[in-house]
Amino acid sequence: MSTDFIIALAGQAVFTVLKASAPMLLIGLIVGLAVSIFQATTQIQEQTLAFVPKVAAVLLSILIFGPWILNTLVDFTYNLLNNLYKYIG
């Protein structure tokens, strides 16, 4: 097992994590931006107004994208464990 192989495997793992977390991060970013614009225009500076919609949007995105995220992680894990003999020997 060479260092190039380990770096490539770690790169695949990081890419899989980024791909799995992207829907929640993007939806949280969009909702946070919309709430910030709303707060700036109405001059309401309530902390819960910024926090609660983002949490609700992230939970909703987990419900919507959950099967896809699980499938992505299971595929990566299956590929990793299925090729385990290549990694050891």
- All residues at 6 or more sequence positions from 32 whose CB lies less than 8 Å from its CB, including other chains: 50, 54
- All residues at 6 or more sequence positions from 20 whose CB lies less than 8 Å from its CB, including other chains: 69, 72, 73
Backbone angles phi, psi at 59, to 5 degrees: -65, -40
pLDDT at 27 over 80: yes
Domain ranges of the chain: 3-86
pLDDT tens per residue across span 43-87: 888 877 888 999 999 999 999 999 999 999 999 999 999 988 877
pLDDT at 89 over 70: no
Taking the C-alpha atoms of residue 20 and residue 8, their distance in angstroms, rounded to an integer, is 18
Predicted model pTM:
0.78
